[in-house]
Amino acid sequence: MTTTATRPQLAYLHDQLEDLKQKGTYFRLRVLDDRQEPECTFDGKHVINLASNNYLGLTTHPKLIEAALEATRKYGVGPGAVRTIAGTMRLHMDLEEKLARFKNVEACVVFQSGFTANAGTVSAILGKEDFIVSDELNHASIIDGARLSRAKILVYRHKDVAHAEEQLASVKDQPGRKLLITDGVFSMDGDIGPLPGLCAVAEKYGAIMMVDDAHSSGVLGRNGRGTIDHFGVHGRVDIQVGTLSKAIGAIGGYVCGSRDLIEFLYHRARPFLFSTSHPPSVTATCIAAIDVLEQEPERIEKLWENTRFFKKELGLLGFNIGGVTTPASETPITPILVGDGRLTMDFSRELFAEGVMATGIAFPTVPEGKARIRTIMTATHTQDQLQRALGVLKKVGKKLGIIG
Ligand SMILES: *Cc1c(COP(=O)(O)O)cnc(C)c1O
């Protein structure tokens, strides 16, 4: 007998897992046996990988690997403390300066992840007298930050600038501060936040403007500078969040903005104050990745070429990739909308059995009835891999009646 078997106190968790099994949305973690690449091995099975956020193929880039190894040899494996005590290394400052220059802002602070960057920032800058006006599909880390701040949360319909304005107008005579916040690219639908409209509305009501560019970092804008650059709204977004965990290929998140904003977060953002910073290997990897973004723009071009091809082919096969009642994706994220959670999970399992890794996503990650397979293109998928993946999608889609 193991000493960790569920005792009666936690039996309700077992019941809830049984419930998920009944509903068909219980899952096991798929385990990657080798490298995060377009063709790899999960659970011992060779598959074409349509599920990772490794947009530019940087998880295995030789220059990044070398940077991580060199930093480890030189500086060891860990920083030994939180940033504010003794854990700020020269490399941490170098990365923050590099990101600030890349984004053309005064200053930058790096967090352990995009999640902590969002949650730590929103909860630090607002209090219970304040208001957060938030897109209904914003990322969970924004929602958690909003809850932690204890500010009042006003949700607006997805990408609906007029509704965001209504929400701001409804509290304009209240004394609290207002924060208008959107994802740059929405992670489950792949559509782009309406930044110019939102910036105008934020300016009209004197609201703080914040954008979470997790899925746009390295993907949109010049050399992957994100949606602010994509739309040319420089100087109109007070707080830009990015991630180092997706296209950048490592792990981490960052906040870019004015020097005052960053200094304030150094003093008040709880993940910064109470959780240890990145090891030197991670920081050096990210520094090398920004160089790659500037030196190898052909990766981003290839990413978009693959994206255009794959989207077109999915549409031709008859899959519902959004556009009528749901937004159409404008980025390398292309959801295949199925609707029913159980059918979605069956679809994903059958695809895997046929050699395609495409994760099913159901409630609570997406709303009930909006379950989907999410596909993500990368720069490193070959034409041959994409053709084979499309062949499997067609075969399994027909077999399960998802396409005619
Ligand atoms: C992935 C994601 C995050 C979290 O980033 P991590 O670096 O993985 O913690 C935040 N916001 C959005 C929109 C995301 O898609």
Is 193 part of any domain?
yes
Atom of ligand 1 nearest to the CA of 118: 10
User: What's the CA gap between 288 and 296, in Å, rounded?
Assistant: 12
pLDDT digits 0-9 by tens, 236-249: 999 999 999 999 99
Q: Whose CA is nearest to atom 5 of ligand 1?
A: 114
- For residue 309, what pLDDT is reported? 96
Q: Are 150 and 204 part of one and the same domain?
A: yes
Which residues does a 6 A CB cutoff place in the pocket of ligand 1? 113-115, 118, 139, 141, 183, 187, 212, 214-215, 243, 245, 253
Is 360 part of any domain?
yes
Lowest mean pLDDT among 23-32, 201-210, 337-346: 23-32
Q: Whose CA is nearest to atom 15 of ligand 1?
A: 187
User: What's the CA gap between 109 and 259, in Å, rounded?
Assistant: 10
What is the percent of the chain with per-residue pLDDT over 90, rounded to a whole number? 91
Atom of ligand 1 nearest to the CA of 116: 9
Instruction: Report how far Cα 283 is from the mean position of its chain's Cα atoms.
Output: 19
The CATH number of whichever domain residue 197 belongs to comes to: 3.40.640.10
Order of strands across the sheet that contains 356-357: 39-42, 45-49, 356-357
Atom of ligand 1 nearest to the CA of 141: 10
pLDDT at 325 over 80: no
CA of 173 to the centre of ligand 1 (A): 33
Cβ pair 362, 20 in contact under 8 A: no
pLDDT digits 0-9 by tens, 115-149: 999 999 999 999 999 999 999 999 999 999 999 99
CA of 69 to the centre of ligand 1 (A): 26
pLDDT at 4 over 80: no
Is 267 part of any domain?
yes
Of 139, 159, 230, 246, the catalytic one is 246
- For residue 89, what pLDDT is reported? 98
The CATH number of whichever domain residue 326 belongs to comes to: 3.90.1150.10
Q: Are 260 and 118 part of one and the same domain?
A: yes
Q: Are 32 and 103 part of one and the same domain?
A: no
pLDDT at 79 over 70: yes
Q: Which of 135, 141, 158, 361 to mutate to test the pocket of ligand 1 (most atoms within 8 A of CB)?
A: 141
User: What's the CA gap between 321 and 334, in Å, rounded?
Assistant: 7
Is 278 part of any domain?
yes
Return the bridge partners of 253, or none.
111, 243
User: What's the CA gap between 393 and 395, in Å, rounded?
Assistant: 6
Where does a domain end: 295, 327, 357? Answer: 295
pLDDT mean over 13-22: 94
- For residue 23, what pLDDT is reported? 82
Q: Whose CA is nearest to atom 2 of ligand 1?
A: 214
Interior CA angle at 153 toward 148 and 154, to 5°? 165
Number of domains in the chain: 2
Average pLDDT, the chain: 96
CA of 252 to the centre of ligand 1 (A): 9
Tell me, what DSSP letter sits at residue 332?
S
187 part of the active site: yes
Q: Are 214 and 356 part of one and the same domain?
A: no
Is 315 part of any domain?
yes
Q: Are 172 and 34 part of one and the same domain?
A: no
Atom of ligand 1 nearest to the CA of 185: 13
The whole model's pTM is what? 0.95
Where does a domain end: 252, 267, 295? Answer: 295
Q: Are 216 and 352 part of one and the same domain?
A: no
Q: Are 394 and 269 part of one and the same domain?
A: no
Q: Which carries the bigger pLDDT value, residue 300 or residue 404?
A: 300
Q: Which of 243, 282, 331 to mutate to test the pocket of ligand 1 (most atoms within 8 A of CB)?
A: 243
Domain span holding position 380: 22-51+297-399
Is 2 part of any domain?
no
- For residue 327, what pLDDT is reported? 73
pLDDT at 5 over 90: no
CA of 172 to the centre of ligand 1 (A): 30
Is 187 part of any domain?
yes
Is 222 part of any domain?
yes
Q: Are 213 and 127 part of one and the same domain?
A: yes
Tokens of 123: 């909860």
**Reported confidence tier of residue 44, pLDDT bands at 50, 70, 90:** very high
> Which residue bears the tokens 């929103």?
122
Q: Are 89 and 147 part of one and the same domain?
A: yes
Q: Are 162 and 237 part of one and the same domain?
A: yes
**Reported confidence tier of residue 85, pLDDT bands at 50, 70, 90:** very high
pLDDT mean over 87-96: 98
14 part of the active site: no
pLDDT digits 0-9 by tens, 164-182: 999 999 999 999 999 999 9
**Reported confidence tier of residue 6, pLDDT bands at 50, 70, 90:** confident
**Reported confidence tier of residue 3, pLDDT bands at 50, 70, 90:** low
Of 92, 103, 139, 215, the catalytic one is 215
CA of 401 to the centre of ligand 1 (A): 33
Where does a domain end: 295, 324, 349? Answer: 295
Q: Are 82 and 44 part of one and the same domain?
A: no
Q: Are 241 and 330 part of one and the same domain?
A: no
**Reported confidence tier of residue 25, pLDDT bands at 50, 70, 90:** confident
**Reported confidence tier of residue 363, pLDDT bands at 50, 70, 90:** confident
